[in-house]
């Protein structure tokens, strides 16, 4: 005979809360377990490609005579692995494994390699508890290996890891020349820091890019559009615009009105950056930047600093997104160490080779190298 569960109203609420907590803890546990499994599977896959890539390199370089049939090594290995395991081990895949080892051979010690590839023991993974050698999926490394500049490749790997970029986001950031655009906004020491630490945001200038790329808006330069059209397009694609702006941005308002001395003023876009702990005001200019535009932004920033920001928050930043800027005009108009920046925007992905050349010339000029 089944006894009826006789629970008072208060008791029912207690049981309900306990069941809800059980569900919550179970969901979190399963999500955590799946993350661990996915992480381990990814690491095993990468270690396998690394090891096979190393063996290919060693075989191809083992004597001058063997170097002559390097491609045959990969072809015969592909045929053998395909017979044994089916699809997934084409010549292209094995060539990528070879490149993977050549690009990242310093990541794995000889001890770890032997434990994994030769002894085939699980103790190899104990070496990675504090510092994993590979933090991204194979698809990401396939893209990264196409980047010849080591500093640039390191930057994208760090940023993709820290920001959990999907392969599509990584592809877009690379195509938009994010590294070059950030580097051209910094001094020599900060460029080196990009390669070793990624983008670290500690001051106002860290959030500025030259230029800002808005290709995702779908606007065409040859078609006339107004500042209102540009603003509307940004709001419609706000998620992608936030990605282009960078880390830590929260959107607050468009056409934010404030009244001063009985006159109304409107800031095109207002954001808050939680990393810098300050407001970021953005004004859109579809024409050449003028000193009046800079003066207006200075007034906006002053107003927010005096009447909006809290005492514990940092000074407001103003950014003018313009079609054409004049660095000399900006320098002569604004006071030194102002928190106001002008950034040109492009409606198409920039010419990557042109930016790379410009960055190379700038670094040579800074270091005095020829």
Q: What is the pLDDT of residue 327?
A: 86
pLDDT by residue for the chain (370 residues), tens only, comes to 445 555 555 566 777 878 888 888 888 888 888 877 888 899 999 999 999 999 999 888 774 545 566 778 899 999 999 999 988 899 999 999 999 999 999 999 999 999 999 998 878 877 776 678 999 999 999 999 999 999 999 999 999 999 999 999 999 999 999 999 998 888 778 888 898 999 989 899 899 888 999 999 998 876 678 999 999 999 999 999 999 999 999 999 999 999 888 899 999 999 999 999 999 999 999 989 999 999 999 999 999 999 999 999 999 999 999 999 988 998 898 888 889 999 999 999 988 888 888 888 877 777 665 5
What is the CATH architecture of 212-349?
3-Layer(aba) Sandwich (3.40)
pLDDT value at residue 6:
54
Torsion of CA 142, 148, 151, 157, to 10 degrees: -10
Is the distance from CB of 250 to CB of 271 less than 8 angstroms?
yes
Q: In the prediction, which pLDDT does 227 show?
A: 93
Domain with CATH 3.40.1350.10 in the chain: 212-349
Distance between CA atoms of residues 10 and 21, nearest Å: 17
User: With a threshold of 0.85, does the pTM exceed it?
Assistant: no
- Spatial neighbors of 127 by CB under 8 A, at least 6 apart, are 109, 111, 112, 115
Strand order in the sheet with 317-324: 212-213, 340-346, 317-324, 278-288, 263-273, 249-260
Quick one: which of 181, 320, 330 has its CA closest to 246?
Answer: 181
Total number of residues shown for the chain: 370
Pairing of strands 249-260, 263-273: antiparallel
Q: What is the pLDDT of residue 10?
A: 57
Q: What is d(CA 261, CA 293) in angstroms, rounded to the nearest whole number?
A: 20
Half-sphere exposure of 369 (CA within 13 A, CB side): 7
């Amino acid at each position: 005979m089944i006894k009826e569960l006789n629970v008072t109203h208060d008791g029912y609420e207690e049981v309900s809360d306990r069941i809800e907590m059980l569900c919550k803890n179970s969901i979190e546990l399963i999500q955590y377990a799946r993350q661990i499994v996915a992480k381990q599977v990814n690491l095993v896959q990468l270690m396998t490609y690394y090891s096979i890539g190393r063996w290919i390199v060693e075989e191809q370089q083992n004597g001058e005579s063997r170097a002559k049939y390097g491609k045959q090594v990969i072809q015969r290995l592909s045929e053998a692995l395909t017979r044994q395991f089916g699809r997934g081990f084409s010549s292209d895949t094995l060539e990528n494994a070879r490149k993977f080892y050549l690009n990242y051979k310093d990541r794995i010690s000889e001890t770890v390699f032997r434990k994994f590839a030769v002894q085939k023991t699980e103790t190899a993974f104990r070496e990675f508890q504090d510092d994993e050698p590979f933090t991204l999926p194979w698809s990401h490394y396939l893209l990264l290996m196409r980047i010849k500049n080591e500093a640039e490749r390191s930057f994208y790997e760090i940023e993709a890891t820290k920001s959990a970029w999907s392969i599509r986001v990584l592809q877009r950031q690379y195509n938009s020349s994010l590294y070059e655009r950030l580097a051209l906004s910094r001094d020599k020491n900060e460029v080196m820091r990009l390669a070793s630490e990624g983008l670290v945001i500690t001051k106002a200038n860290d959030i500025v890019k030259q230029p800002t790329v808005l290709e995702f808006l779908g606007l065409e330069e040859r078609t006339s559009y107004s500042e209102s059209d540009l603003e509307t397009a940004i709001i419609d694609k706000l998620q992608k615009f936030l990605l282009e702006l960078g880390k830590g941005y929260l959107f607050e308002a468009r056409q934010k009105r404030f009244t001063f001395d009985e006159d109304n003023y409107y800031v095109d876009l207002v954001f808050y950056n939680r990393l810098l702990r300050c407001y970021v005001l953005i004004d859109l200019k579809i024409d050449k930047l003028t000193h009046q535009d800079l003066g207006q932004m200075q007034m906006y920033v002053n107003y927010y600093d005096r009447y909006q920001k809290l005492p514990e928050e940092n000074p407001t930043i103003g950014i003018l997104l313009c079609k054409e800027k004049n660095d000399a005009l900006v320098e002569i108009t604004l006071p030194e160490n102002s928190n106001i920046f002008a950034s040109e925007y492009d409606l198409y992905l920039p010419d990557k080779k042109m930016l790379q050349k410009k960055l190379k010339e700038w670094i040579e000029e800074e270091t005095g190298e020829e």
